[in-house]
Amino acid sequence: MAIEIERKFLVEGDEWRDLGTGTLFRQGYLSTAKERTVRLRVVGAEGTLTIKGPTVGATRSEYEYSIPLSDALEMLDELCEQPTIEKHRHVIEHQGLMWEVDEFGGVNAGLIVAEVELETEDQEIELPDWIGDEVTGDPRYFNANLISHPYSTW
């Protein structure tokens, strides 16, 4: 079984902007059930289908598969819950770890979140200066929840 261990934080200031270039992500959800999420994602000319189990602490099962771009685009437009998520992802290395900073657009504009994947839940990490409050356990920040409860409505 594939496992994802991830911590999530709010981002403060603009210092991070000079540390990595952004890539546009477009994603939607076929299922946002608490027990499982099924996500479609398009990045450049790549389409992926991801199935994730329930989150326990900072851990959950995750399975990801490449799919044809045309299928991914069609499912985003015709089958996924709306609105879809649009964000620019900036990948930034800090102290040997890769941080993914997501700057959301559309109805979630203004939200900037950083995620870091870990080997274990208790792995010690040094936080970059631009990291703010941890929101790992706050479901408002789950991408799947940003569809039905966009950041602009908080």
**Residue 29 appears among annotated catalytic residues:** yes
Identify whether the C-beta of residue 126 lies closer than 8 Å to the C-beta of residue 112: no
Identify whether the C-beta of residue 40 lies closer than 8 Å to the C-beta of residue 98: no
Q: Of 29, 63, 65, 141, which is the active-site residue?
A: 29
Closest by Cα among 28, 24, 136 to 88: 24
Strands 97-104 and 85-94: antiparallel
Residues 6+ apart with CB under 8 A from 62: 2, 3, 4, 50, 51, 52, 53
Catalytic residue IDs: 29
